[in-house]
């Protein structure tokens, strides 16, 4: 440890080498290509060794958890090397063997613990040499509450907390304050759709949107100049008349063998079921609402807020919970749990929602801080699932966390095993929240995921999740295909287990066989409020143009994730057989998995690189961390021992600040919501007047004589909200 030191500044701490050695990664270039609701992301990482010794550069970074990584290549001078996907241990051995013999080698691997963390190793980069690494992945874009399509390029990699006594993650994490990231980012996006693009928004400054044709179905946009890759880049894309049911049929690869995934056509269905109005209007306002709030140390980190409020993750989570508590229906049941290294609940068991119980809960929520240690979510989840369900009160679980756990797959397995007893709605709080955990909780718990990165759009997201939670549970979901004779469909996606009104459901299927007839249909049947319903989508099997293999890769990713879960379910039984299927599908489709890695070796590099390699860990933007100890040593020609991360159970690092921060100012909308009663009304008092920018006398005198104070206060509050919080 004498060659490393902890680096602490403001609310952050991370690791830098004591000598502040130069970072080989110089810049990152990202090109985003969006076609309707599917995106292809091409990242180019430019490296240069400015030292007088050969180096190995190791970069651990986040990617979206549901991304299908499908290409990895390197360019050194005029030499271009395309990596191959191989079984992970084999790829690691080839990488180590190459370095031992002085060859240049490149390794890209996915974490076995969490599919949203990748490690890129650039080995044997000689002094003065440059290398350009190209990484490509495809991803489905999530639909936001306001019907925008959300793309997030994650920059911030929060360290994953690992409880004491559990197996740590196999990938090292090197983090520095976001302001000290030494490499730059250039980002451009091109959007095309059958429907016109109405607007593109971002959490970062953008250059003006440029339309590339007269009907506005193609557009381009770039990040404003000077952007540092010190925060997540969130892009929101809005289409006119968006989110209609659709089908895309993609032709197979000519060189691939028919009957294989790449050799056959694959269809991607986007379904948007619409429930009958009669059912939606008569739905019962009931349920048991269980809230699980992360109070670990990392929840004290600041998050970005365009309104400049001094907002932390824990305050954002409290505000999100406030919206939900104020919106629950009278007569339902609720309870609030919070967790860190231990967990606690406000009530011994869920209680009926009333003015009294709501006020009691809010007082305790207001006192909640980031003071419970690490992020140990498994035990509170197990306790919640052990509680008996309340008759005729369907359980809805809401989880609020920054997603910094190191055992993501174990958590998701637990939620999936208990999916029949509840629905899970997850909220990722702040930048760097694990997309694998947040999206996985919702997918396995048959709910919905939201990402809260500031006060903007929070209310819409919260209310959409609550609206979905109040919808009746859809049961007996089945999918039937009406295909031409001799044509069959093999579904590659997990079965559809959840349907919400107007929310997209994606389905992938491999199409086998041929027939001159191309018209076909798929029907989704389900039971809603004890009544059977059907939604049908008609389409034809003519392949779409210019789709490449995007749909095939997304389908492969979906199938790989299903197999990986099956492997964990069967651990100790047919474990190796399923692993073999994952490796075969991954290699065949060119899509990464937890059991494979991309390996590229420059066998034409001429003279072997002489001398031992010096390891350089490329830092990732980080937030406040628990104390982290890295084991690292200069690389030798012997087979290497991989660095490990230790996050002690009881040794937090508290960052110092030069001066006391200003007391936080609260969003006026949140102030107004905090005054709302459980019944949904407001009281005509000085507190309400203050939020409205008036004094008590002014609001009292404005009240018509025939209207009660309570009704008038509610009218004023709702009018203020309706007018966009203008007062």
Give tens-digit pLDDT for 578-617. 889 999 999 999 999 999 999 999 887 666 676 677 777 7
Residue 6 has pLDDT above 60, yes or no: no
Same domain, 128 and 235: yes
Of the CA atoms within 13 Å of residue 115, those in its CB half-sphere come to 26
> Of 441, 470, 499, which residue sits at a domain end?
470
pTM: 0.79
Question: Is residue 727 assigned to a domain?
Answer: no
Residue ranges making up the domain that contains 414: 285-470
Buried b (16+ CB within 10 A) or exposed e, 130-144: ebbbbbbbbbbbbbb
Mean pLDDT of 317-339: 90
Select from 424, 450, 470 the last residue of a domain. 470
Q: Are both 33 and 173 inside the same structural domain?
A: yes
The whole-angstrom distance between residue 182's C-alpha and the CA centroid of its chain comes to 25
Q: Going by C-beta distance under 8 Å and a sequence separation of 6 or more, which residues neighbour residue 68?
A: 137, 138, 139, 553, 554, 556, 557, 591, 592
Do 208 and 341 lie in one domain? The reply is no
Say yes or no: 290 and 388 in one domain: yes
| Buried residues in 268-301 as b, exposed as e (16+ CB within 10 A) | bbbbbbebeeebeeeeeeebbbbbbbbbbbbbbb
Q: Which helix (H) or strand (E) holds 277?
A: helix 277-281
Which of 712, 62, 47, 32 minimizes the C-alpha distance to 431? 62
Can you give the CATH number for the domain in which 65 is found? 2.60.40
pLDDT band at 571 (very low <50, low <70, confident <90, very high): low
- Fill in the DSSP letter of residue 390: B
* 293 within 8 A of 339, measured Cβ to Cβ: yes
Does residue 424 belong to any structural domain of this protein? yes
Q: What is the percentage of the chain residues whose pLDDT exceeds 70? A: 83
Residues 336 and 214 in one domain: no
Q: How confident is the model at residue 634 (pLDDT cuts 50, 70, 90)?
A: very low
pLDDT at 657: 39
Choose among 347, 440, 334: nearest CA to 397. 334
Question: What is the structure's pLDDT at 91?
Answer: 96
Residues 300 and 233 in one domain: no
Best CA proximity match to 107, nearest among 280, 282, 116, 93 = 93
> Is residue 146 domain-resident?
yes
Q: How far is CA 491 from CA 150, 480, 494, 536, in A?
A: 26, 11, 8, 17
Whether residue 328 has pLDDT greater than 70: yes
Q: In this structure, are 618 and 684 located in the same domain?
A: no
221 three-class SS: strand
Beta strands in 49-194 (DSSP E): 55-62, 68-76, 79-82, 84-87, 104-110, 117-125, 130-140, 142-143, 149-153, 175-177, 184-192
Residue 505 resides in a domain: no
Q: Residues with Cβ < 8 Å from 316, sequence gap 6 or more?
A: 303, 429, 430, 452, 454, 455, 458
pLDDT digits (tens, 9 = 90+) for 247-273: 999 999 988 998 899 999 999 999 888
Among 308-312, 345-349, 717-721, name the most confident range: 345-349
- Same domain? 614 vs 672: no
Over range 485-506, report the average pLDDT.
Answer: 88
Question: What span, in angstroms and rounded, lies between the C-alpha atoms of 174 and 184?
Answer: 17
Q: Are residues 182 and 82 in the same domain?
A: yes
Q: Is there a domain that residue 214 lies in?
A: yes
pLDDT-derived band at 666 (thresholds 50, 70, 90) equals low
pLDDT of residue 306: 54
Q: Which residue has the higher pLDDT, 288 or 65?
A: 288
Structural domains of the chain, count: 3
Do 623 and 694 fall within a single domain?
no
Beta bridge partners of 290: 335, 397
Residue 161 has pLDDT above 60, yes or no: no
Between strands 55-62 and 117-125, the pairing is antiparallel
What would the two tokens of residue 34 be?
């969006």
Contacts with 414 (C-beta within 8 Å, 6 or more apart), sequence order: 378, 381, 382, 385
Q: What is the pLDDT of residue 633?
A: 30
Torsion of CA 717, 721, 726, 727, to 10 degrees: 0
Tell me if 146 sits within 8 A of 159, measured CB to CB.
no
Q: Are residues 70 and 194 in the same domain?
A: yes
Write the pLDDT tens digit of every residue in 330-361: 889 999 999 999 999 999 999 999 999 999 99
Domain boundary among 470, 502, 518: 470
pLDDT of 632 > 70? The answer is no
Taking alpha carbons only, the member of 708, 681, 671 closest to residue 355 is 681
Q: Is 446 left (phi over 0), alpha (psi -120 to 50) or beta?
A: left
Nearest to 190 by CA among 546, 557, 620: 546
Residue found under tokens 């250059």: 207
CATH of the domain at 330: 3.40.50.410
Do 683 and 619 share a structural domain? no
Total Cβ atoms within 10 A of residue 574: 13
Mean pLDDT of the chain: 81
């Amino acid at each position: 440890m004498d060659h490393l030191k902890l680096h602490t500044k403001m609310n952050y701490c991370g690791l830098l080498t004591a000598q502040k050695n130069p970072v080989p990664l110089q810049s990152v270039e990202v090109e985003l290509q969006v076609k309707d609701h599917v995106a292809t992301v091409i990242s180019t990482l430019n490296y240069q060794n400015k030292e007088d010794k050969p180096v190995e550069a190791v970069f651990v970074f986040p990617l979206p958890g549901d991304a299908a990584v499908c290409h990895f290549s390197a360019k050194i001078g005029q030499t271009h090397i395309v990596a191959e996907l191989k079984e992970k241990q084999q790829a690691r051995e080839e990488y180590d063997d190459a370095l031992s013999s002085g060859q240049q080698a490149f390794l890209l691997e996915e974490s076995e613990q969490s599919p949203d963390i990748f490690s890129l190793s650039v080995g044997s980069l000689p002094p003065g040499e440059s290398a350009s690494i190209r990484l490509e992945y495809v991803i489905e874009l999530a639909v936001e509450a306001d019907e925008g399509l959300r793309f997030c390029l994650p920059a911030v990699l929060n360290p994953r907390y690992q409880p004491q006594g559990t197996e740590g993650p196999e990938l090292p994490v090197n983090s520095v304050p976001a302001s000290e990231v030494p490499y730059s980012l250039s980002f451009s996006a091109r959007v095309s759709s059958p429907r016109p693009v109405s607007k593109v928004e971002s959490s970062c400054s953008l250059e003006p949107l440029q339309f590339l044709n007269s009907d506005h179905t193609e557009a381009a946009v770039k990040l404003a100049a000077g952007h540092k890759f010190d925060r997540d880049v969130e892009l929101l894309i809005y289409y006119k008349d968006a989110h209609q049911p659709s089908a895309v049929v993609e032709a197979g690869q000519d060189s691939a063998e028919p009957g294989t995934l790449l050799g056959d056509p694959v269809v991607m269905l986007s379904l948007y079921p619409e429930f009958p109005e009669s059912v939606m209007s008569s739905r019962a306002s009931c349920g048991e609402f269980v809230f699980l709030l992360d109070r670990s140390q990392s929840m004290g980190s600041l998050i970005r807020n365009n309104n400049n409020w001094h907002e932390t993750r824990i305050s954002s989570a409290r505000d999100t919970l406030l919206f939900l508590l104020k919106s629950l229906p009278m007569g339902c049941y609720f309870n609030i749990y919070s967790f860190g290294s231990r967990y606690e609940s406000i009530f011994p068991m869920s209680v009926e929602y009333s003015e009294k119980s709501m006020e009691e809960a809010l007082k305790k929520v207001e006192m909640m801080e980031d003071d419970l240690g690490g992020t140990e979510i498994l035990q509170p989840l197990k306790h919640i699932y052990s509680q008996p369900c309340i008759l005729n009160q369907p359980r809805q679980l809401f989880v609020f966390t920054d997603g910094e756990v190191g055992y993501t797959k174990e958590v998701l397995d637990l939620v999936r095993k208990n999916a029949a007893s509840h629905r899970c709605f997850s909220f990722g709080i702040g930048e760097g929240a694990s997309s694998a955990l947040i999206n996985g909780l919702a997918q396995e718990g048959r709910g919905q995921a939201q990402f809260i990165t500031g006060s903007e759009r929070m209310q819409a997201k919260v209310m959409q999740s609550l609206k979905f939670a109040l919808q009746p549970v859809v049961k007996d979901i089945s999918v039937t295909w009406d295909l031409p004779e001799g044509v069959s469909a093999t579904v590659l996606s997990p079965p559809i287990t959840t349907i919400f009104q107007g929310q997209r459901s994606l389905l992938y299927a491999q199409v086998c066989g041929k027939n001159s007839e191309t018209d076909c249909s798929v029907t989704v049947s389900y039971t809603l409020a004890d009544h059977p319903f059907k939604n049908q989508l008609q389409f034809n099997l003519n392949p779409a143009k210019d789709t490449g293999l995007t749909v095939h890769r997304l389908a492969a990713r979906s199938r790989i994730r299903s197999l990986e879960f099956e492997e964990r379910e069967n651990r100790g039984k047919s474990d190796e057989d399923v692993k073999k299927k994952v490796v075969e599908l991954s290699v065949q489709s060119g899509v990464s998995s937890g059991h494979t890695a991309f390996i590229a070796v420059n066998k034409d590099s001429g003279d072997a690189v002489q001398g031992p390699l010096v390891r350089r860990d490329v830092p990732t933007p980080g937030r406040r961390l628990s104390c982290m100890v890295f084991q690292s040593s200069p690389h030798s020609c012997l087979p290497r021992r991989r660095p490990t991360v230790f996050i002690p159970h009881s040794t937090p690092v508290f960052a110092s600040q030069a001066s006391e921060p200003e007391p936080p100012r609260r969003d006026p909308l949140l102030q107004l919501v905090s005054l709302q009663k459980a019944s949904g009304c407001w009281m005509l008092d000085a507190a309400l007047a203050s939020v409205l920018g008036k004094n008590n006398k002014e609001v009292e005198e404005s009240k018509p004589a025939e209207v009660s104070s309570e009704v008038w206060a509610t009218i004023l509050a709702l009018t203020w909200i309706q007018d966009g919080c203008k007062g």
